[in-house]
Amino acid sequence: MSFLLATLAELAQLVLLLLLAPFLTDLSAMLFARLAGRAMPPLGARWRQLRRNWRTLRPVPPLAWLSLLATGMVLAALPLGTVHTNFSILSDPLALGMLLIAARLPVWFLVVVNRQDARRDHQARHLVAQDMRAVALLLPLVALSDALMAIGLPGAGNIAGLVRDMPIQPAPALTGALVFVAAALLAILQNSLLPPERFETLIPEAEGRARAVLRYGHDLTACGWILLLADLAWPESIAGESAGTRALLTSWLLTAPLRLLGVATLAATWRALAPPHPLRAALTLAGAATLLVLAGRFAA
């Protein structure tokens, strides 16, 4: 019975995220346009784009499907409303961060092999180079989140373990440090792997179903990053395995959507305000997170 409930929760989570991801892209585009003083696209525009592209019968490169596979694994492993799912034991931030980065590899490869338009090709290659620099910062940051969990709450191991152990062994220093790490990740992501309009520059030659698959892959990858940041910043809002019916309903119907919408809103706002020196901000936040956990550990 427990396995059946975990399977049903897993399926519900996947269906919800697969449907919600394009709407998060819409929300990001709407908020960014609003703050930038532009006309806002209507809600649901992304799904209409995807349907319109899918109706155009063009072959889809096999590589394009790989991004959906990698991101699907992430969305199955990260807890949304509860950790009582079949794959929540795989919710290691470093491993899932690497999968989310790997989901971008097909797009980068298609940019490298594209030779149809010199000007567009040069612009897309420049963005790929920027993405590479962002990845060089993202990997140490997600690795830092693993290290901080190992120091601040030994035995937790992953996000599901964090949710399981924090009620038994409160770790306020670790909780604050993970908020700092999530903010540091957001400082890098908000101008590299998250913006939908930036992604469009990477795939100017893709048409029809290939464009639909690549766009949907970006939406799912952005949703995966948003969920990872939300889990790191607010793990207490996720229902544990022993949670009652009321706690489960509150987590699924209230806190889970609020966490996703909150991070998506913060990302779009940060990007629109364009604060200077995001790298400096990320390094400062990462340093503060490390010092906070070490101070909490030595004080224990």
Annotated domain spans of the chain? 2-299
Provide the phi-psi class of 197: left if phi over 0, else alpha when psi is between -120 and 50, else beta: alpha
Under the banding of pLDDT at 50, 70 and 90, the label for residue 50 is very high
CB-count burial class (<10 Å; 0-12, 13-18, 19+) for 124: buried
Backbone φ and ψ for 156, nearest 5 degrees, come out as: -65, -55
C-alpha pair distances (Å), 300 with each of 33, 132, 166, 198, 199 = 47, 39, 15, 45, 46
Taking residues 291-297, what's their average pLDDT? Answer: 92
The pLDDT mean for the chain works out to: 89
Gap between the Cα atoms of 121 and 202, Å rounded? 8
| The residue type at 59 | P
What is the per-residue pLDDT across 135-189, written as a single tens digit (0 to 9) for each?
Answer: 999 999 999 999 999 999 998 889 999 999 998 898 999 999 999 999 999 999 9
Which helix (H) or strand (E) covers residue 226, if one does? helix 208-233
Residues with Cβ within 8 Å of 276's Cβ and at least 6 positions away in sequence, in order, are none
The whole-model pTM stands at: 0.94
Under the banding of pLDDT at 50, 70 and 90, the label for residue 281 is very high
Gap between the Cα atoms of 160 and 137, Å rounded? 25
